[in-house]
């Protein structure tokens, strides 16, 4: 059975500093989005704000749990798996809470960009389903004890990610072709942000302690934190500052008479 590490261990080999920083940055992002969206009345804008606020909020809870040791467990893989397993008696220390975070936040990111593109509910639902499959198989790769099984699940998860990114690029880009220039430009930036950051995740897994063991847990945790903050807070910052999507929020709200005249 998986053995959870003692609560309050505050990270291993000092990576707790990156978990703490990730928590703070996610919370700051969430608070910024809340303040920015306070008083917004337009239903479409409110929808974007609610989704975008939830993303760093969920991530902050995940990072805080990992900081206090509740999202960390041990997986016995044998000393021959990699150098980190050999140095730790054949056991890998795994932050499974990352996957719980991604299982909720990545579908919300896809929902955000799907709504922006004007994609159909069917296309958004298909992409979210593929995303969930990608995360679950990625978790399987992390929790498997056998090295062959770990890489088999990593391969399946990576193939799912490639299909997801292709679908995102092809289908959502086509749906966004009807947007005005400013909104389409924002969509392209967000789409490319997802394409680049998400493509790095399986590479970091592969070279990290859960894969080949090229980098240690300290560097791995830093890398995932940078990717998470960029893909979540950076995404929301770009989305909510787009006038083509959110409108000119600094402009005065027209009166009922002016709206009727228009």
242/262 Cα distance (integer angstroms): 24
Closest CA to 94 of 33, 138, 148, 64: 138
Using CB atoms within 10 A of its CB, is residue 190 exposed (0-12), middle (13-18) or buried (19+)? buried
Instruction: Using DSSP, state whether 239 is helix, strand or coil.
Output: helix
Tokens 């709504």 identify what position? Answer: 115
String of DSSP letters for 123-174: HHHHHHHHHHHHHHHHHHHHH-SSHHHHHHHHHHHHHHHHHHHHHIIIIIHH
User: What pLDDT is stored for residue 247 in this prediction?
Assistant: 64
Instruction: Split the chain (262 residues) into runs of 10 and give each run's mean pLDDT.
Output: 42 78 97 90 89 96 93 90 90 92 97 94 95 97 94 97 96 91 92 97 95 92 96 95 64 42 45
Residue 3 vs residues 120, 145, 190: alpha-carbon distances, Å: 43, 13, 39
User: What pLDDT is stored for residue 31 in this prediction?
Assistant: 96
185/246 Cα distance (integer angstroms): 14
User: What pLDDT is stored for residue 241 in this prediction?
Assistant: 84
Q: Which CATH architecture has domain 13-71+97-246?
A: Up-down Bundle (1.20)
Using CB atoms within 10 A of its CB, is residue 260 exposed (0-12), middle (13-18) or buried (19+)? exposed
Phi and psi at residue 208, to the nearest 5°: -85, -170
For 92, the enclosing helix (H) or strand (E) is strand 91-95
User: What pLDDT is stored for residue 256 in this prediction?
Assistant: 43
214/212 Cα distance (integer angstroms): 6
String of DSSP letters for 169-183: IIIIHHHGGGS-HHH
pLDDT in tens, 158-187: 999 999 999 999 999 999 998 888 889 999
Question: What pTM value is reported for the model?
Answer: 0.87
User: What pLDDT is stored for residue 250 in this prediction?
Assistant: 42
């Amino acid at each position: 059975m998986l053995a959870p590490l003692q609560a309050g261990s505050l990270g291993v080999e000092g990576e707790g500093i990156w978990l703490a920083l990730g928590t703070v940055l996610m919370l700051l992002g969430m608070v910024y989005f809340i303040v920015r969206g306070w008083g917004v009345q337009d239903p479409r804008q409110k929808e974007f704000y609610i989704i975008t606020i939830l993303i760093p909020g969920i991530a902050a809870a995940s990072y805080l749990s990992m900081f206090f040791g509740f999202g960390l467990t041990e997986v016995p893989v044998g000393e021959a798996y990699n150098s980190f397993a050999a140095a730790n008696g054949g056991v890998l220390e795994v932050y499974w809470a990352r996957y719980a975070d991604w299982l909720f936040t990545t579908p919300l990111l896809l929902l955000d960009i799907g709504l922006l593109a004007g994609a159909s509910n069917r296309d958004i639902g298909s992409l979210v389903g593929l995303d969930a499959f990608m995360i679950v198989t990625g978790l399987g790769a992390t929790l498997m004890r056998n090295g062959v099984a770990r890489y088999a699940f990593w391969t399946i998860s990576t193939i799912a990610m490639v299909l997801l990114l292709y679908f995102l690029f092809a289908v959502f880009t086509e749906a966004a072709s009807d947007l005005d220039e400013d909104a389409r430009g924002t969509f392209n930036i967000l789409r490319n942000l997802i394409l680049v950051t998400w493509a790095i995740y399986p590479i970091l897994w592969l070279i990290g302690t859960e894969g080949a063991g090229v980098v240690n847990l300290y560097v791995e945790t830093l890398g995932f934190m940078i990717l998470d903050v960029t893909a979540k807070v950076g995404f929301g910052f770009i989305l909510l500052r787009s006038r083509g999507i959110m409108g000119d929020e600094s402009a005065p709200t027209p009166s009922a008479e002016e709206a009727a005249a228009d």
